[in-house]
Chains A and B, each alone.
Chain A
């Protein structure tokens, strides 16, 4: 058990709908990352939040958005869903720190069990 929790485990919905995936990081971790795993694209980084602020963006579609709340949990919102959005969505968290000369510097990322999204 990594200490990262994700809900729900499975989600089945229809095209055009909107869903919200939730992630609770390990206690004390300030950084949260979202990844998408699909058969054709593999594991792709979507977005990172650090202590409530967006830190990095990857191959995230405009239909997708995320946020990190003051209690550090994060939500990934997927809207206008398409068949191709069916995938495993992982959240990860890590300890991050700043050194005063840059950062946040990050270390091992711990992954949650994932949410399997099926769009019909």
Chain B
């Protein structure tokens, strides 16, 4: 079963615009990670935010985490055509510290030049 649910499932924007993707999860987490996947290829790690952090930045990426609402958002600013990909949130659930990632279904982002 999926822990995370991304919203929207698909997003289409123009180059230069900002893209916001949301992720909701069900159980308490150790950390939440965002990954990017270009069509049919491997997953690229974007950013990790721990359960005691509220916001994190990396280049044009901004991730927020609201543990009270069990939600996270990924903001990509000044988007580029090269940002076209699927974006997944993945949670590491609370107990056992096994590191098992539970992925959402992903948001497919299309950035039009």
Q: List chain A positions with a Cβ less than 8 A from chain B.
A: 2, 31, 33, 35, 42-45, 48, 55-56, 58, 88, 90, 92, 94, 96, 102-114, 116
Cβ-closest chain A residue relative to B48: A108
Sample 6 A-B pairs with CB under 8 A, ordered by A number. Answer: A42-B104, A44-B103, A94-B99, A104-B97, A106-B99, A108-B45
CA distance A21 to B104 in the complex (A): 25
Q: Pick the contact of A112 from B33, B42, B103, B104 — CB < 8 Å?
A: B42
Cross-chain contact A33 with B101 (CB below 8 angstroms): yes
Could you tell me if A2 and B99 are in contact, using CB atoms closer than 8 angstroms?
no
Q: Is the beta-carbon distance between A2 and B42 smaller than 8 angstroms? A: yes
Closest approach, in angstroms, between the C-beta of B82 and any C-beta of chain A? Answer: 17
Contact B96 A56 (CB under 8 A): yes
Q: Using Cβ atoms and an 8 Å threshold, which residues of chain B touch A94? A: 99
Contacts of A2 in B (CB 8 A): 42, 44-45
Contacts of A88 in B (CB 8 A): 40
The number of chain B residues with a CB under 8 A from chain A is 24
Task: Provide the residues of chain A in CB contact with B42, threshold 8 Å.
Answer: 2, 90, 111-114
- Does B23 have its Cβ within 8 Å of any Cβ on chain A? no
**Residues A45 and B101 in contact in the complex (CB < 8 Å), given A108-B33, A109-B33:** yes
A109 to B104, CA, bound (A): 16
Contact between chains at B98 and A48 (CB < 8 Å): yes
* B99 x A109 contact (CB < 8 A): yes
B87 on interface, CB distance cutoff 8 Å? no
User: Which among A35, A55, A96, A108 has the highest number of chain B CB atoms within 10 Å?
Assistant: A108
**Do A109 and B45 touch across chains, with their CB atoms under 8 A apart?**
yes
Instruction: List 6 tightest A-B contacts by C-beta distance, closest first.
Output: A106-B99, A56-B98, A43-B103, A111-B43, A113-B42, A45-B100
Asked whether A109 lies within 8 Å of B2 as measured between CB atoms, the reply is no
Among B35, B99, B102, the most chain A Cβ lie within 10 Å of the Cβ of B99
